[in-house]
Amino acid sequence: MPKRSRPTSSPALAGAALLETLLGGWRALSRLEVDGFAVQRSRGVTRRANSVVPIDPPTDTAALDAALTRIESLLGAAGETPTFRLFTANGLDHEPVRAALEQRGYAAGPPVHVLLRPLADHRTAPDPRAAITVGAPPEDWLEASWRLAPRPEEGARETLRDLMAGTPAIYLALTDPESREIDVVGRAALVPHRRRTIAVLDQIAVDPGRRREGLGRAVVRSLLSLAAVQGADLALLEVETGNTAARALYRGEGFTPCGEYRYLTRP
């Protein structure tokens, strides 16, 4: 039987498919569907996993207002303040939700950019120094990731482990040859979408003492290469506006903008 040829280009990813892929790459510990909104909760660790995302919100003004009141009441009963995550991207119209929230006193934070890169043409081999695990996060990788990027929330370390274990992923680490400590880590979640696999890159961290040595670029290139081997035809990642160094790195590796989102909160 002849081998099936690899596609030369990746189909576009937009609308609800883009949303669900991003949510699948950082899967919340619990998700409740409320009137077309995904209400995510994960013990308060990371805004991505504790935000409310419109998937198919009501278009009628009264129904939308009722849905927002229901969500606020639901989270308020649990002692939590809602954080909404609204997107601007092809195939998505979150503007009515944004307007309704602003009327309720919510304010938007700075944009977070969503970047995309097809993998059909990716030919770079993984860095030969890389330690690679596919599946669940290994303990030494988790230890290094926490050391390089700790979080202040109570129980954050255990919650991060549970969040990452929710989606099969590639875990990559580079070790300093002298100290034998892991000083660079990265992750590529492998998210299924219909008959394709999409890699969502995150948790890329470099020890401050090893920056400007090209290690971040080595991790990104290696993750992309490994994701392509695993059958992914597209890679996504999220980067904050203020992270100019990371944005330049990703631009140099062929990522282009495909949308953005903002968190909306109420004082």
Tell me how crowded residue 67 is: count the other CB atoms within 10 A of its CB.
Answer: 21
What is the chain's alpha carbon radius of gyration, rounded to the nearest angstrom? Answer: 19
Closest CA to 234 of 264, 193, 263, 187: 193
Is the distance from CB of 170 to CB of 134 less than 8 angstroms? yes
Whether the pLDDT of residue 9 is over 70: the answer is no
* E strand segments, 136-176: 169-175
State the amino acid at position 8 in one-letter form. T
C-alpha 248/C-alpha 243 separation (Å) is: 9
CA distance 69 to 62: 11
pLDDT above 60 for 11: no
Q: pLDDT digits over 61-76, tens only? A: 999 999 999 999 999 9
| Separation of alpha carbons 46 and 156, rounded Å | 9
Task: Give the mean pLDDT of 205-225.
Answer: 93
Token duo for residue 123: 């030919």
- Helix (H) or strand (E) run with residue 39 in it: strand 37-41
Q: How far apart are CA 209 and CA 260, in angstroms?
A: 31
Determine whether 93 is exposed, middle or buried from the number of CB atoms within 10 Å of its CB (0-12, 13-18, 19+): middle
> Average of pLDDT values for 111-127?
90
What is the model's pLDDT at position 211? 86
Mean pLDDT of 158-175: 96
Q: What is the mean pLDDT of the chain?
A: 93
Q: Is 137 helix (H, G, I), strand (E, B) or coil?
A: coil
Longest dimension (CA), the chain: 64
pTM surpassing 0.85? yes
Q: Which of 60-64, 126-130, 151-155 has the highest mean pLDDT?
A: 60-64
DSSP letter at 168 equals -
pLDDT confidence tier of residue 5, bands split at 50, 70 and 90: very low
What is the residue-wise DSSP string for 43-99? TT--STTS-EEESS---SHHHHHHHHHHHHHHHHHTT----EEEEEETT---HHHHH
Residues 6+ apart with CB under 8 A from 32: 38, 39, 41, 74
**pLDDT band of 234, cuts 50, 70, 90:** very high
